[in-house]
Each structure stands twice: as C-alpha cells, then as structure tokens.
C-alpha cells in the first residue's frame, strides 16, 4: 500500500494507523468514494462527518466564509441520522483499507450512547465523541465545556461500546487541560485536540454577519499555534494519546504537533482548500525528517519538545 513503512505506523489506543495522519471530521461528505481516494493518496485513517440519532438539515447558506487566515463555518451538524448512515459506515468498512472512526453526537448522554452503539454495530473501528461543535445549542461544546456533563457522556459511552473512544475537545474554554483530565479519568482512550475556535465575519457593505447562523468556528492556519499550545499543555498532564488537529497544512505543521506531544494528526481544512494530495506530502515529509534526524519511528518524535 502507498506510503506503508513500519517506522511510520502508529498504534493509537488500539487503532492501527499505517502512518500518523487521519482525515479530520467534517470534511468530504458522507459517501465512500472520496474516502477511498484519500486512502489511496496516503491518509492513515478516517474520521467521518458527525452523525446523530435523527436526520438534521443544518443551517441555511452561507455556511462557510473564507476569512483570509482560514475558514469560518457554521454548517449546523447536518447529517442523515445514524440509521441511514449505518449502511454507509458498513460500506466504508468493507471498502477502505484504513481504520474508520465515526464522529458521533447527541443531545444527551443517552443519545451519544445510542448513536455510538449503532456505529459500532455497523463495524467502525472506533468512535470520536463530538463534544466541541461551537455553535449548535444543547450539544457539542455546550456539553463538552462543562466537566460534569462531559464526564457523563464519556462514562456512558465507555461502558456501552468495546471500541476505542476518542474525545474531541473544544478550545473555547478557560482550561482545556481540565477537560482533558476529566475525559481521561472517565475512560477516554484518546483525545482529539481541538475543534474550531469561536469566530465570525461581518460584511462591511451590508453591515451584517456573513454566515446565515451569524457566528461559527474558525479552522485553518490561523488556529495552528493555538492547537499546538493546547496539545503541549495537555501532553504534560495526561497519559492517553493525543491526536493533534487545527491548521495542519504541511509536514512541518504535522511534525510540530508530534513534537508538542501528539501521537498522530488530523487534517481537515487543508484537504478542503488544497485537495487530497496533502496526505502524501505530509507523510513523505515526515519520512524525510525522520531520516535526516536519524529517527526510526514516528513515536520517537512524540513529545520531544518537552525535554528540559
Ligand atoms: O457542523 C458544524 O457546523 C461543525 C461541527 Br459538527 C464541528 O464539530 N465544528 C465546526 O466548526 N462546525
């Protein structure tokens, strides 16, 4: 398989990635074909778009605005509902040669459990709890920013499924470290750090917010240093693996996250902006970097910037 190399592989809480890259949730729609293409192009694993119990239409257009330094989105968690999506998940599992993680959300702990169980029954390799979408009421960061509510969700899902449970944290809080500790204590197998940063854009001609939802979440290059900082801080306080996510566009960005303490990275906005070639570029760059530095495995890079 493309870019398969023992030194690049990562065992992430039981998920066996052929290299340390994953597609971040929210990109590339719901169908199998584009995912098969990114697997061919070197992506090590896929996180699907977020899915809940019942179908949701999401917000009206415009749902995305280009902000110069990245994208601001407010999609509103559109999805077909887990019953319909389960078929797609099964097909992904039978088609893709790389791990498939379902991003799930709900409006209560019980709903997170129900969706996670259905996703696992459909065959996925793990679930990622979206407790961090910054602009939908009664779910996402409204649950994930409160340690008590976060705890309830993580515990409930962990007791209900026997696959790795990743928890995607929000940066829109005073202490990401506190949330990370909470998730780890309640059984999270890995943490994805981080979801988008609260943001908005206003059209100076009309004088009005551009997004139909008015406010949204910023992704892309502008948020990379924020994400690196959160990964660095969390790495010092938890034992479970971290997936770095936020503004990764090239191999240097990916290596920066590994040095900060991420075991692997998720790439989203760069795929949307520049296409699927980004995975191959990142993986080849990491491999070159390892050769230059005399490193035999990706794991040797993880957390290196914490040397004192
Ligand atoms: O659907 C969205 O609007 C959305 C989600 Br689920 C998320 O997790 N993060 C984000 O910025 N937008």
Q: Which residue's CA lies nearest to atom 3 of ligand 1?
A: 75
Active-site residue among 43, 52, 133, 245?
A: 133
CA of 74 to the centre of ligand 1 (A): 6
Strands 242-245 and 215-219: unpaired
For residue 2, what pLDDT is reported? 47
The C-alpha atoms of residue 15 and residue 13 are separated, in whole angstroms, by: 6
Q: Quick check: bond before 62 cis, omega within 30?
A: yes
Residue recorded with tokens 């499924």: 161
Q: Is 133 labeled as catalytic in the residue annotation?
A: yes
| Residue list, ligand 1 pocket, CB within 6 Å | 26, 50, 73-77, 130, 132-134, 195-196, 217
CA of 240 to the centre of ligand 1 (A): 24
Edge-to-edge strands of the sheet including 215-219? 64-66, 71-73, 215-219, 197-200
304 contacts: CB under 8 Å, gap ≥ 6:
258, 259
The C-alpha atoms of residue 259 and residue 301 are separated, in whole angstroms, by: 6
The C-alpha atoms of residue 308 and residue 304 are separated, in whole angstroms, by: 10
Q: Which residue's CA lies nearest to atom 11 of ligand 1?
A: 217
8 A C-beta contact, residue 28 and residue 17 = no
Token pair of 147 as six digits: 């340690």
CA of 217 to the centre of ligand 1 (A): 7
8 A C-beta contact, residue 219 and residue 74 = no
Q: Which atom of ligand 1 is nearest to 135's Cα?
A: 3
For residue 4, what pLDDT is reported? 57
Strands 197-200 and 215-219: antiparallel
Q: Percent helix, strand, coil in the chain (nearest 5)?
A: 40, 20, 40
Q: Which residue's CA lies nearest to atom 7 of ligand 1?
A: 133
8 A C-beta contact, residue 299 and residue 20 = no
Count other C-beta atoms under 10 Å from residue 285's C-beta: 16
CA of 247 to the centre of ligand 1 (A): 15
Length of the chain in residues, anyone? 308
8 A C-beta contact, residue 10 and residue 298 = yes
Ranges of the chain whose pLDDT falls below 50 = 1-2
137 contacts: CB under 8 Å, gap ≥ 6:
none
């Amino acid at each position: 398989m493309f870019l398969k190399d023992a030194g690049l592989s990562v065992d992430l809480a039981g998920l066996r990635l052929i290299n340390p890259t994953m597609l971040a949730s929210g990109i590339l729609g719901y169908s199998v074909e584009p995912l098969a293409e990114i697997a061919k192009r070197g992506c090590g694993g896929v996180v699907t778009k977020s899915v809940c119990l019942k179908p949701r239409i999401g917000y009206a257009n415009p749902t995305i605005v280009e902000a110069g330094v990245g994208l601001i989105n407010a999609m509103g968690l559109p999805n077909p509902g887990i019953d319909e999506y389960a078929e797609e998940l099964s097909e992904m599992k039978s088609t893709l040669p790389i791990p498939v993680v379902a991003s799930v959300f709900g409006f209560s702990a019980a709903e997170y459990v129900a969706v996670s169980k259905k996703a696992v029954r459909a065959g996925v390799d793990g679930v990622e709890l979206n407790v961090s979408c910054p602009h939908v009421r009664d779910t996402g960061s409204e649950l994930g920013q409160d340690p008590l509510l976060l705890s309830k969700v993580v515990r409930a899902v962990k007791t209900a499924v026997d696959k790795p449970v990743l928890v995607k944290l929000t940066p829109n809080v005073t202490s990401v470290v506190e949330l990370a500790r909470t998730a780890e204590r309640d059984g999270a197998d890995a943490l994805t750090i981080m979801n988008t940063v609260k943001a908005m854009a206003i059209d100076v001609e009309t004088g009005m917010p551009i997004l139909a939802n008015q406010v949204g979440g910023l992704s892309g290059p502008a948020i990379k240093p924020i994400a690196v900082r959160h990964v660095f801080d969390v790495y010092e306080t938890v034992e479970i693996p971290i997936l770095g996510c936020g503004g990764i566009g090239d191999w240097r960005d990916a290596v920066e996250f590994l040095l900060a303490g991420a075991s692997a990275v998720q790439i989203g906005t760069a795929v949307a902006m520049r296409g699927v070639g980004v995975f191959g570029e990142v993986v080849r760059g990491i491999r070159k970097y390892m050769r230059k530095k005399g490193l035999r495995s990706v794991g040797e890079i993880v957390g290196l910037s914490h040397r004192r």
